[in-house]
Amino acid sequence: MAFDNTVTIVGNVTRDPELRFTASGLPMCQFGVAWNQRKQNGEDVAHFFEVTCWQSLAENVSESISKGTRVIVYGRLDFSSWETDQGEKRNQTRLQADEVAPSLRWATTEVNRNDRDGNSSQSSVPQDSAPQGGENIPTDEEPF
C-alpha cells in the first residue's frame, strides 16, 4: 500500500536558490525555507527545511525567488540519516517540491507563462487592453 506523504509549508526563503545540473543534464535547484512556530508561552521556535526542485520547476524557481521571499511549497517528505566521520548520527528532513509559489499575503507578483519550448511570455493582459463586459475574449489564448 502506497502512502501519499504530501505536505505544504509556508515560510521564508533562507538563501538564494542554487541551480545545478546532474551529469545527464537534468536541472536541480535547492534552497532553504524557515517558518516560526509560536508556542503557548509566547516563545518562537524556528523550523528549517531543505527544499529540492527538479526539471522545469527548478529552472523557474531559480529565476523567480530569492532570499527573504515568502513562499508556499507543496511536496513530499524525504528523510535521510547518516553517520559522520566522527561517529555522530545526523538526520535531515528534505522536501521534494512538486509546486513552489510566492505568498501573496504581504506582496504582489507578476506571472509570466513559459511556452512549452521554454521561452517566457507575458501571461497577464495590460489593464488598458483588458476585455470589458460584452467584448469577445481572444480564443487563441489558453485559459488559466
Q: How far lies 122's CA from each of 12, 60, 119, 125, 142, in Å? A: 26, 14, 10, 8, 12
Supply the DSSP symbol for 103.
-
All domains of the chain in start order, with CATH? 6-125 (2.40.50.140)
- First-to-last C-alpha distance (Å) of the chain: 34
pLDDT tens across 82-110, in order? Answer: 999 999 998 888 899 999 999 988 888 88
pTM: 0.69
pLDDT 10s digits, 100-140: 999 988 888 888 887 766 555 544 444 444 444 444 444 45
Whether 64 has a pLDDT exceeding 50, the answer reads yes
Q: Which residues, listed in sequence order, are joined to residue 32 by a DSSP beta bridge?
A: 50
